[in-house]
A = this chain, B = another copy of it.
Amino acid sequence: MKKVSILIVDDHKLIRETWSFILGSDDRFEVIADCGDPDEAIKVAAEKKPNVVLMDINMIPMSGFDATEQIKKVSPETRIIGVSMHSQPAYARKMLQVGAHGYVTKNSSREEMVKAILEVDKGNKYICDEIRNIISEQLTEAEPQGPDIQSLTDREIQIIGFIKKGHSSREIAAELDISLKTVEVHRHNILKKLKLKNTAALVNFINSNPSLY
């Protein structure tokens, strides 16, 4: 019986150590490395080709998603599990979209983590109970016109990026070399689609909505 080789990626040393400790004391697993830097994680994954990667996705802006994509390129056989404290299904979706096989929140139990690793190692996908429950709730709820994040255009998302940085419409127009009027229309459409009424609400919405980076 071969052990499942594991690489742990998390920017917090304490977390890495605790997981190494816990998983290392289980005969079925073998933690072959842990690192706090996404770039380093990609290197290690390329060299050691671990069976499973535990990827924390609270790391600085979206690097968890990027790292997942990179690792799948350099080591396609490696299964990746996203581990996060966020309970929004949007994170899970994004994670699977970039090539991960599993997603577990930090609300899950240790048993569930173990189960996730074993399942993913077999090539199956695994989403933790919490997220699955939320998703099925959302399905039954039949949302009465929630904000249409999906309907946002590429251009609109790009504009959102500038707004988030604190740029004014005039500045954005200059940077994209388009008319001020166009930027204003984009902003108006964004607010309408997301059912928000001003910039403050928008910025807040963005910051709690990972799908928009």
Contact = CB atoms under 8 A, between A and B. Distances in A.
A168 interface: yes
A211 interface: no
B203 A17 contact: no
A190 to B, nearest CB: 12
A199 B187 CA distance: 15
Contacts of A202: 200
Given A18-B18, A207-B204, A207-B207, A196 B110 contact: no
A104 B58 CA distance: 18
Interface stretch (A7-15, A42-50, A63-71, A176-184): A7-15
Contacts of A113: 14
B200 A164 contact: yes
Stoichiometry, copies per complex: 2
Interface string A76-116: 00000000010000000000000000001111111001000
A17 B109 contact: yes
Nearest to A36: B107
A109 B14 contact: yes
A164 B204 CA distance: 7
A21 interface: yes
Interface in A137-194: 163-168
B168 A107 contact: no
Interface of A: 11-15, 17-19, 21-22, 58, 85, 104-110, 113, 163-168, 196-204, 207
Q: Which 7 pairs across A and B sit closest by C-beta, in order of nearness?
A: A166-B201, A12-B106, A203-B203, A14-B106, A18-B18, A207-B207, A17-B110
